[in-house]
Amino acid sequence: MSDDALLPKEVSLRDLQVAAVLKMLFLNEAEVGDADLADTFNDREVYWKVLVLDARSTDVVSSVLRVNDLLKAGVTVHTLIGATRAPLPDVPAVYFVEPSLANIDAIVADIEADKYAAFYVNFTSSLDRSLLEHFAERVSTTGKAERVKQVFDQYLDFVVTEPELFSLELPRAYAALNAPGADEEAIAQLCDTIARGLYNVIITSGAIPVIRAPRNGPAELVAQRLGQLLRDYVINTKNSSHAVLPAQDTLERSVLILLDRQIDFACMFCHSWIYQCMVFDIFKLSKNTITIPETKPTPKIQEEAESAAPAPAVTEKRYDLDPQDFFWAQNSHLPFPEAAENVEGELTRYKEDAQDITRRTGVQDIADLAAAAGASEAEDTAQIQEVVQRLPELTKRKAVIDTHVNIFSALLAQLEDKKLDTFFEIEQDPNANTAKLQQSFRDILNDGKTNNLQDKLRSFIVLYLTSTQGLPRDFVSEAEKYFQDHDYDTTVLQYIYKLREFMQLSSKTLQNKSLEDGSSNNKSAGGAAAGANALSSLYSLTEGRLPGTVGNLISGIKNLLPEKKTIPITNVVEALMDPQNSSEKNLETTDQYICIDPRITRGSHTKKPRRQSYNRSIVFVVGGANYLEYQNLQEWAHSQLHNLKKVVYGGTSLVSPSEFLDEITGLAKAGSAN
């Protein structure tokens, strides 16, 4: 029996958001189960309706539900509020939009035009008093106020992409907060926006936490503003029957840990070996859609007709990660070789099931089963119909497997083309000052490739930021000259050099710890060998679409499994959630964090922090989040079977390494211009 089988079923943040969205679609009539979509749909009487969204709410809904889910909830049409919409005067409409003046005026215009039979109005976040009064006044002038059946604040203005991962979708927040000469009012406004987004997450999660944050940074500003918002909520709902949260949310308090991005700058540039992290880094993973560029060779006839060498046509292939994608749920957190082994195993199991069906029914292909069921003799019909009932599950399983085989194929091609495994390997070495490591990096620089210059720069940044004593000056100069010779922009290094100086002066180094258990070393060794075999098999499945030298790549990566250890953000979280098992060095750092308890409504709101354990937390990074930290936190949270922790992780936005590199380059250029 696996450890997971022993764990109680936890309701995730995604479960809670799905339940809230479905409750809204069922006209806010009753509570909706927060775990099983099928049960929810089966237990409800369906009323057909139109769903009207805006860009923001579309991101919220599309990340957790699919079109088929909307149809089961009675949504026959979903459309944007700014689009030209045909009137459907006999059908009610559910609006789910941002609380803005433009959206309110658009809703009122629809009421005036009798566009729908009834109007159920829902806002993604709290509608402030002035807009509410404007809405009420405008509706009253139409003379059709009875058409407005409901007006609700839904507190759902955040995007959930994994069970315990969310984003406020506020891009380039780090640059906005750290730009030279940044306007104090603009910074305060952004921190207020972040606080309001977190307020939505907390209301949805159902518990008011204690807030901890480091001093003297944006995280502290957000903590102060959020503490006030939650304190106002506690005061306003203390004697109210309309509180969103129960008066006593739980006997067990949770903690909200707010951190500035500078807690760990290096991880934003790292090359990871985790399946999900690799997809996010190498391709585009946004709102549960993977976008992979595909280069199609120019036809030979066309090529000969053109004097200059034509650029190959580049198209994009998109793969939607359904929340019910079983393979992604089970393997996204695994190292690439292990996940490759598992996709091979899933394909083998599918082929065995398909062969069993064809053998029992006598058809050549399972696609012919439906026709066979209608043409069979009576005595065979029952058996074939029983098998036909398995077709939807088999078809769906095959589609999921095919998706991931294609993704692995594309990843392997990139690994071979850019030698990405070498970057991961060098960044894993904790002895960044050794001559051997420096020579390894020189070998990477001199690999003869120019299509991986960004990867080389990222690895250099990681080595520079993580070296304990600092890299030798001649080694740094050698790297700088390499990029200069290749005419590659290294403006970002100006910021990185200054950041390291600042970090050495202002902060303490956190102490990492191993996440290995007693059996994990043997398991990793076996997993490495099995992973290499699976990659070889996976190559054969791609029917020769990969470069011929991929065999060398496979043999080279067989031992590259990531070391199971905590990273800085996890060290902080452990110190705050589980101080008894944290190092004194890490505790000394977190003891300096501010502590705000929003339930204290009188006297001083900031209390003296004390070390205590928490089983639940929300961890939020002001200035950008990434999948590497999410996976490390989840690994830590589940590393001790009898001391399980629940960690929800989020940030102002999810930022890929290349996006963050571009953001910091912009900061460096702005700094040099001043």
pLDDT tens per residue across span 106-155: 999 999 999 999 999 999 999 999 999 999 999 999 999 999 999 999 99
Say which CATH architecture domain 3-156 belongs to: 3-Layer(aba) Sandwich (3.40)
Q: Is the pLDDT of residue 307 over 90?
A: no
Q: Quick one: how far is CA 573 from the chain centroid?
A: 19
* pLDDT at site 375: 52
Which carries the bigger pLDDT value, residue 568 or residue 559?
568
Listed by start position, the domains of the chain span 3-156, 161-264+567-662
Q: Binning pLDDT at 50, 70 and 90, where does residue 535 land?
A: low
pLDDT band at 31 (very low <50, low <70, confident <90, very high): low
pLDDT tens sequence across 345-358: 999 999 888 888 77
Q: Is 367 exposed, middle or buried (0-12, 13-18, 19+ CB in 10 A)?
A: exposed
pLDDT cut 90: percent of the chain above it = 61
Q: Residue 374's pLDDT band (boundaries 50, 70, 90)?
A: low
Mean pLDDT of 447-470: 92
Task: Evaluate whether the domain defined by 161-264+567-662 bears CATH number 3.40.50.1910.
Answer: yes
Reported for 133-141, long-range contacts at CB under 8 A and 24+ positions apart, including other chains, are: 134/101, 134/104, 135/104, 135/107, 135/108, 138/104, 138/105, 138/108, 139/108, 139/111
pLDDT at residue 527 is higher than 50: no
Instruction: Dig out the tokens for 343 from the structure.
Output: 């996709």
Average pLDDT over residues 470-476: 92
pLDDT band at 253 (very low <50, low <70, confident <90, very high): confident
Side chain identity at residue 571, one-letter code: N
Cα–Cα distance between 231 and 226 in angstroms, integer?
A: 8
pLDDT in tens, 550-563: 444 455 554 566 67
Residue 250 has pLDDT above 90, yes or no: no
Range scoring the smallest mean pLDDT among 119-123, 438-442, 516-520, 624-628: 516-520
Which pLDDT score is estimated for 238? 75
Select the more confidently predicted residue: 324 or 595: 595
Higher per-residue confidence, 188 vs 525: 188
SS3 content of the chain, % helix, strand, coil (to 5): 55, 15, 35
Give the pLDDT score at 101.
Answer: 98
**Counting Cβ atoms within 10 Å, is residue 554 exposed (0-12), middle (13-18) or buried (19+)?**
buried
Range with lowest mean pLDDT among 327-331, 337-341, 542-546, 648-652: 542-546
Residue 298 and residue 331: Cα distance in Å, rounded? 36
Query: Looking at residues 609-626, what average pLDDT do you find?
Result: 94
Residue of higher predicted confidence among 633 and 387 = 633
Residue 292 has pLDDT above 80, yes or no: yes
Report how far residue 45's alpha carbon sits from residue 27's, in angstroms, rounded to the nearest whole number.
11
At residue 131, the 3 state secondary structure works out as helix
Q: Enter the tokens of residue 183.
A: 């306007």
CA distance 366 to 303: 42
Tokens representing 29 are 């009539």
Higher pLDDT, 237 or 494: 494
Average pLDDT over residues 61-70: 93
The pLDDT, as a whole number, for residue 402 is 93
- Judge whether 3-156 and 161-264+567-662 match in fold: yes
Least trusted range by pLDDT, from 14-28, 322-336, 345-359: 345-359
The answer to whether the predicted template modeling score (pTM) of the entire model surpasses 0.75 is yes
pLDDT at residue 270, as a whole number: 95
What is the spatial distance between Cα 219 and Cα 260, in angstroms, rounded to a whole number?
A: 6
Average pLDDT of the chain?
84
Per the model's pLDDT, the better-predicted residue between 439 and 549 turns out to be 439
